[in-house]
Structures are given as structure tokens and as C-alpha cells.
Amino acid sequence: MENFFKLYVWRLLCKAETSEKSHDRYEAEMRPSIPKISVVIPCYNHGEFLKDALQSVLVSDSQDHEIIIVNDGSTDPDTLAVFRELEQAFSDHPKIHIVHRENAGLAAARNCGIHLSRGEYLLPLDADNKIRPHYLSRAIEILDNHPDVGVVYSHARFFGEKEGIWRFPQFDPQRLLLYNHVEACSVCRRQIWADCGGYDPEMKTGYEDWEFWIRVMKKGWLFHLIDEPMFDYRVRNDSMISSCNMPENRLKLIRYICHKHRDIYVENLEYVIPEMNLAILHQEHRVWERDARIRRLEGIIGEKDEALRNIYHSRGWKLLLILYKIRDMIIPLNSRRRDIAANLIRFLWRRA
């Protein structure tokens, strides 16, 4: 009954109109000690990967952390079963907390988990990704020793449908206006999230992390790159990044970001316009290439359909249908009659 009450409190606290009194009681009763870093894991129908993400944090060499898992309205039965299993296994675990909420998108789910967290530093970790054992300790050390650094990011190893190393460049403010070169799985100060107002919940189709980093940059914080892979990114064809990188979606999201931060884009027009034009031309070329591939495939399909129609109307196909009917008729016959029928089939086939 006590565990059910805890879960019920978590659900109430995740709503937008959570009262300050309820939140204070939650902090006092549920998590009396303040961890150094909070790892927030949003999950929407990714139950098959969630345990891997959780395990990667549990084996971290830094144990001064808490883990907030946010079920963002998952509907997949297997994912819901995983949540039930985790709630049972970690019901009394002091560092793992599970929150259920209605589906509102990745940005809102991250905000929800961060709102309920207490760590000095924050790490958003998608449910289908993993971190390396030294990531938390390295990031904490950098942030502790460099108060002007607000964000720590790293290279990544990607795995799944593709494998390799994803190398990010050193932080460049102007480059950030053109494309995102800071991964979402980066460690930042809680103060940053509070000052910038969290992730934009309107950006439900992607790039919410890119837009958030632009706001962080505008606040004057420094970004520090760890020059080695510190997390593992799972490549899937149905992932959000695959969807938002579709040319049409990408252009729409870029327009949204440019409009929202038009002040800084205007300040950097001399750099942004030429580079942005090249980027748009590149995207338009990708759209043209995709459409050309579709047209080629449609032509191949049309040729195959025509070939099948010719076969269907051919004399040989009609005779083959007759032979199949004769075969079905002679199966019940005795062996002598089957031999006679078989000879007849061979005769007809030679005449075809």
C-alpha cells in the first residue's frame, strides 16, 4: 500500500499545476538527501531498451546520483510490462523514481523529470541510449572545477542499424546557429535549466535540444567537449532524429528556430545567410534526389506489372492452369490411370 501511495504522489506531482506544498512534501519524504547529478530518462514505447539505459547508469563509477524515469504515456503493452517490472524491483530503491504522465512529447517529458529531480547537475538520457561508466564522474569534475562552464558534452559511439564514432567539433557559437553540434545527452547545471525555462514543449517533432542550447549560449555559458565517446547512441530507422532530418521536417524546424531567435540570427547575418543558403540548397537537392529515386522505382514497378500481365494472358499460362486442374483430378485415381494422365500431360506440354 505504501508503494502505491508513493507512485500516486509521483503522478500528481508530474501535472502542470502541482502545488508548491505538495512538491516540498515530496522532496522531504521521498528523497531527503540531495544527489550531485540527476539522470532523467523519458520513455515512450521504448521498453525493450529501457533496462539497458538504466543499467548503464547503475554501473557508473559515480554513485552520487538519482534516476528519474518518466513514462510519457506509453501505450505499448511490452513497455507497460517493463514499467510494472521496474516498479516492483525498485519500489524501495532510494535512487530510482518512476513517474507516469500523459503523453506530451519528449521536451515536456524531460521538463517533467527535471522538475521532480534535485541534483545540482542534470543529464537527459533517452531510453534507447546508454552512457559510458566514466561519463558522470568526468562531467561532474569539469563542472565543479570550471564555474563558467555550463554544459559538458562528448563524442558518441553509435550502434544498432549502423556502427561507428560520431565526432562533434569544439563548440562554436556561430556554427550552433546553423546546425546542432551538441548532443542532447549532455550534462548541464540545474541553474541553466531554470534560467532558460526548460525545453520548448511546442517542439514535439525534434530539435528541442538544439533550440535549448541556443538559449543557453545566449545566456553566456561556456560549453566543454570531452574528446572521447561518453555515450552510446542507438541508430533506428524509426527514431525521432530520422524523422526530423527528413528534408521537409528539417526546413520547418529550422524556420521555427530562426523565428524564435531572430535577434541573434540578425546579429550574425553576414555569416548565417551564405551558410544557410548552402544548407537549404543541400536540403532541396536531397529532396530532388529522393523524388528521382521514387520515380525510378515507380518505373520499375510499372515494368514488372506489365510483365506479369503479359504472363497472365499468355497461352503458356492458360495451359499451365489446365495442367494444374488435371493434376488435381488425377490424384485420387489408381496408378494405371495416373500413368495415362501423366503421359497426356507430357504430350500437351510438348505441344504448347
Contacts 24+ apart (CB under 8 A), 331-334: none
Q: Which residues contact 136 (CB under 8 A, 6 or more apart)?
A: 37, 39, 57, 60, 61, 62, 65, 123, 187
| Dihedral sign of CA atoms 326, 332, 337, 340 in order | positive
Instruction: For residue 230, tell me if it sits in a domain.
Output: yes
User: In one letter, which amino acid is 151?
Assistant: V
Is 317 in a helix, a strand, or coil? helix
**Lowest mean pLDDT across 136-150, 159-173, 218-232, 234-248:** 234-248
Q: Which domain holds residue 332?
A: 315-351
**Domain end: 190, 212, 236, which one?**
236
Going by C-alpha positions, the residue among 64, 206, 169, 204 that lies closest to residue 123 is 64
Domain boundary among 236, 257, 278: 236
Quickly state the pLDDT bin for 294 (edges 50, 70, 90): confident
Mean pLDDT of 54-62: 96
- Cβ atoms of residues 94 and 123 within 8 Å: no
- Please check whether residues 336 and 199 belong to one and the same domain: no
Mind listing the pLDDT tens digit for each residue in 217-248?
Answer: 999 999 999 999 999 999 887 655 555 556 66
Quick check: 72 and 104 in contact, CB under 8 A?
Answer: yes
Domain boundary among 236, 255, 290: 236
Taking a C-beta distance cutoff of 8 angstroms, is the pair 122, 189 a contact? yes
Residue 27 pLDDT grade (very low, low, confident, very high; cuts 50, 70, 90): very low
Asked if 222 and 321 sit in the same domain, the reply is: no
Nearest to 81 by CA among 137, 43, 121: 43
